[in-house]
Amino acid sequence: MNPALDPLAATPVAARPPARPRSNWRVVAILLTVVVGSLLFVSLQPRLYQAFCDWTGLYDIDRAERVATSSIPARPVTLEFDANSHDGGLKFSPKTTSIVARTGEIVHVVYRIENTLDRTVIGQAIPSYGPQYAGGYVKKLDCFCFKQQTFAAHEVREMPVVFLLEQRLPEEVNTVTLSYTFFEVPAGSAKASATASDGGK
Amino acid sequence: MQATSHAGYAGNHDHDSHGHPTGWKRWVTTTNHKDIGTMYLWFSFVMFLVGGAMSLIIRAELFAPGLQYVSPEFYNQMLTLHALIMVFGAIMPAFVGFANWMIPMMIGASDMAFARLNNWSFWLLPPAAILLTASLFMPGGAAGTGWTLYPPLSVQMGMGMDMAIFAVHILGMSSIMGSINIVTTILNLRTPGMTLMKMPLFCWTWLVTGFLLIASMPILAGAVTMLLTDRHFGTSFFAAAGGGDPVLFQHIFWFFGHPEVYIIALPAFGVVSHVIPAFSRKPLFGYASMVYAIAAIGLISFFVWAHHMYVTGIPLTGQLYFMYATMLIAVPTGVKVFNWVTTMWRGSLTFETPMLFALGFLVLFTIGGLTGLVLAMTAVDIQLQDTYYVVAHFHYVMVAGALFSAYAGLYFWLPKWTGHMYNEKLGKLHFWLSMIFFNIAFFPQHFLGLAGMPRRIPDYAQQFADFNVISGIGAFGFGFSQLLVLVIVFQAVKGGAKASSRPWDGAHGLEWTVPSPAPYHTFEDPPVFNQAEAHG
């Protein structure tokens, strides 16, 4: 619209009276509805996502496992828990010593550790299994043994381990022992592997 | 950037009669859109320098293979804060600053619709910036997850992560309030006769951006709130140990994150749509198609999020849908590029600094758009995911796109803000240094990415060394060239050739009908809007 070329240049576009003024608050009310709608939408996401995944079978991370093991019925197995401290000064024990759980069931147990020393202790718990080969069927979802732990002097801490026993567990195994030994990390090498895991199994 | 001079104002209103505070109190209590716009722009420039310094730490570390200056943990914190600060602290506030300064003047309004809300929107930003930068000094340091804050890492990090989450909450509130204000201003305060389809394009881009922000910011707020409860209140939205799914976070994050890309890009398109016609001395080609393109981009941006997630194991149908939907965005974007080029066709072009930056934007943004199309292809993206090719791509659209456009706007409107012409020689020097060093810094990153160099890693294999040296030289050159902006802006604030009310002969719009510098109060009565200043 080059003013020099446009014959209407000087003519006001609107000679008509201004439109009925819209209330600012009406616009704000509409916009706030959008905000609330978005908040509602995001807060429903976990549920919608779950429903969508169930409906379509997407992201069903256990499916391969379930297909592979669906022919194996779940069965009860006795789980025993044990804890030792390699170096003196730490009291390390499971809060439950034995439970019966079904294979495929998520088990949540808590271990208790107490630093009886007057100094900070940094260390890591290393698991072992009885029988040894049962370790291959223990799937840990979360474990305090994944990381190095730091205990202040006289600190008491309760730490969880969440795992399940695979349904493929050989038939002859009816009792699995999960045993942790707590090793203190030599002062120089602490934190060198803050995220060291126990191999995930 | 300061419109402090009241001298020479010849309006009908005695604006000093109600007396406003002076000194620092003026800036804390101000509800004037020009003051707030100025503060937004200064804030964003300071954050730009902070974020830029962080990127130079990253480039210094990458100058040679091996670990030289920083630990991997600190490197991760630098790249996370660099991204968060640049996106939320520099680019977004810069365009909100432009919106504050220019939208009321473009539509003939005396101020924003909610002037006090406007003040609050701005003053929420500094606390958020302090939270982000102070998190560096917390035990465990700042968040080191990358700006995407993906769990499980973000569930495990130290309290720096909590500070980042609260900063995101505050920034989100500020953005939502700012957007409500801008949208209401645009919808309700246009001068009589300025219909939506005669509105300046910068206002159109902000109208759509405002809606994008209002709809997407609560999504991000929800995502980080769920992170927070996973971290501290024993929920398991994303923590796999309790049955959560980290991939859910990626879906929610990118449902916000992709519109966010256009929240940054659209106002940049708006600025360029003013600068190119002004220096081509022709009206913008295809105004209506520009408006539809903006709306289309805004809408489609909500339906392409999973193209950031091709390697999460989404099924083939999903990959195909997101690939085609993403490529669809190239259509309206292509319309815009075509219209800008056609606007210049047979125009009387001159190449002052704003035009140079707009042209730099056009060329480099198109390159960035093209690599975006490459990345949209699932089969290719699976190769290039998390490589430097992606880094090169988004710096071409974010830096050469948004930042160059912001500079075009800065030089274009600086005479209106300060009443003085800036130093054209220095301005051109700033452009050429930026243009050359930008390409030296980021073009080699395409090659690095294609060769397989992963992003977000402080060390790399020997064969990547040469291109990283080139990239490093470019980054330092680009970084230090930006200090020229400070010199140029200070010079223009202090003095220089007097700017007329319309310093660019090809510019049109209501903002050019008020004196330069723009008086503290403009358009207290709605101006008469005639065809000469109409867009569209």
**Mind listing the pLDDT tens digit for each residue in B336-377?**
999 999 999 999 999 999 999 999 999 999 999 999 999 999
Q: Given B121, B154, B273, B371, which residue is catalytic?
A: B273
Cβ contact (<8 Å) for A6 and B531? yes
SS3 of residue A85 by DSSP: strand
Contact state of A14 with B193 under an 8 Å Cβ cutoff:
yes
Nearest to A9 among B183, B282, B530 (CB): B530
% of chain B with per-residue pLDDT over 70: 96
For B393-404, write each residue's pLDDT tens digit.
999 999 999 999
How large is the C-alpha radius of gyration of chain A?
A: 31
Chain B nearest CA to A164, separation (Å):
11
Indicate whether B7 pLDDT > 50: no
Catalytic status, residue B33:
no
Whether chain B has a CB inside 8 Å of the CB on A152: the answer is no
Residues with Cβ < 8 Å from B408, sequence gap 6 or more? B271, B272, B275, B354, B355, B357, B358, B361
**Which residues of chain A lie closer than 8 angstroms to B140, CB-CB?**
none
| Residues B482-493, mean pLDDT to the nearest whole number | 96
B273 is catalytic: yes
Q: Closest partner residue to A1 among B248, B318, B534, by Cβ?
A: B534
pLDDT tens digit sequence for B437-458:
999 999 999 999 999 999 999 9
Please check whether residue A200 touches B, CB under 8 A: no
Concerning whether B336 is annotated as a catalytic residue, the answer is: yes
Under an 8 A CB cutoff, do A10 and B180 touch? Answer: no
Q: What is the pLDDT of residue B507?
A: 92
Structure tokens at B530: 């005639």
pLDDT of residue A53: 81
The pLDDT of residue B8 is above 60: no
Residue A60 confidence (pLDDT):
62
Residue A195 pLDDT level (bands cut at 50, 70, 90): very low
- pLDDT at position B24: 85
Concerning whether B15 is annotated as a catalytic residue, the answer is no
Q: Compare B240 and B536 and report the one with higher pLDDT.
A: B240
Q: What is the predicted pLDDT for the residue at A198? A: 39
Cis peptide before B152 (omega within 30 of 0): yes
**Residue A104's pLDDT is what?**
84
Are B198 and A13 in contact (CB < 8 Å)? yes
Does B417 qualify as catalytic in the annotation? no
- The set of residues, in sequence order, having a beta carbon less than 8 Å from that of B67 and lying 6+ positions away, is B61, B458, B459
Confidence class for position A141, pLDDT limits 50, 70, 90: confident
Distances (CA, A) of B128 to B39, B135, B154, B259, B418: 15, 11, 19, 22, 29
Least Cα separation, residue A9 to chain B (angstroms)? 5
Q: Is B174 a catalytic residue?
A: yes
In this model, does residue A12 exceed pLDDT 90? Answer: no
Tell whether the model's pLDDT for residue B3 goes beyond 70: no
Minimal-distance CA residue of chain A relative to B284: A1
- B176-208 residue pLDDT tens: 999 999 999 999 999 998 999 999 999 999 999
Mean local confidence (pLDDT), B516-531: 89
Give me the half-sphere count of Cα atoms (radius 13 Å) on the Cβ side of residue A189: 8
- The pLDDT, as a whole number, for residue A181 is 92
Inspect the interface and report whether the beta carbons of B223 and A42 lie closer than 8 Å.
Answer: yes
Which residue in this structure is represented by tokens 């990415």?
Answer: B449
In B451-524, beta strands by DSSP E: none
Please classify residue B346 by burial: count the beta carbons closer than 10 Å to its beta carbon, then call 0-12 exposed, 13-18 middle and 19+ buried: exposed
Give me the residue from B188, B528, B534 closest to A24, CB to CB. Answer: B188
Query: CB count, 10 Å around CB of A34?
Result: 17
Structural domains of chain A ordered from first start: 21-60 (no CATH), 72-189 (2.60.370.10)
Q: What is the pLDDT of residue A69?
A: 66
Q: What is the mean pLDDT of residues B70-93?
A: 96
Residue B534: its chain A contacts at CB < 8 A? 1, 13
Between chains, do B218 and A142 touch, taking CB under 8 Å as contact?
no
Predicted local distance difference test score (pLDDT) of residue A188: 64
- Does the pLDDT of residue A1 top 80, yes or no? no
Q: In this complex, which of B184, B192, B193 lies closest to A27 when CB atoms are compared?
A: B184
Q: What is the pLDDT of residues A142-186, one digit of tens each?
A: 898 888 888 899 999 999 999 988 888 888 999 999 999 998 887
User: What's the confidence (pLDDT) of residue B315?
Assistant: 83
Other beta carbons less than 10 A from residue B50's beta carbon:
18
- For residues B39 and B93, the answer to whether their CB atoms sit within 8 Å is no
pLDDT for the residue numbered B396: 96
Q: Does A8 sit within 8 Å of B245, measured CB to CB? A: no
Q: What is the pLDDT of residue B13?
A: 46
Distances (CA, A) of A184 to A124, A200, B115, B296: 7, 20, 61, 61
**Banded model confidence at residue A200, pLDDT cuts 50, 70, 90:** very low
Best of B117, B121, B248, B529 to mutate (most A CBs within 10 Å, chain A): B248
**Amino acid A166: pLDDT:** 87
CB atoms A9 and B531 under 8 Å: yes
Q: A20 falls in which pLDDT band (50, 70, 90)?
A: low
Tokens encoding B30: 């101000």
- In this prediction the pTM is 0.80
Of the candidates B308, B395, B502, B508, the residue annotated as catalytic is: B308
Listed ranges A69-83, B18-32, B226-240; the one with the highest mean pLDDT: B226-240
Query: Which residues 6+ apart lie within 8 Å of B206 measured at CB?
Result: B95, B99, B103, B182, B186, B266, B267, B270
Residues in chain B: 536
- Please write the tens of the pLDDT for every residue from B234-277: 899 998 778 888 999 999 999 999 999 999 999 999 999 999 99
Q: What is the mean pLDDT of residues B292-318?
A: 93
Residue B465 has pLDDT above 60, yes or no: yes
Cα–Cα dist B263/B275, whole Å: 20
Using a CB-CB cut-off of 8 Å, the residues of chain A touching B240 are 141-142
In total, the C-beta contacts within 8 angstroms joining chain A to chain B are: 111
Q: Which of A59, A109, A141, A150 to mutate to test the interface with B (most CBs of B within 10 A)?
A: A59
Averaged over B301-328, what is the pLDDT? 93
Average pLDDT over residues B462-488: 96
Among the partner residues B183, B222, B315, nearest to A58 by beta-carbon distance: B315
Domains of chain B by start residue, with CATH: 35-533 (1.20.210.10)
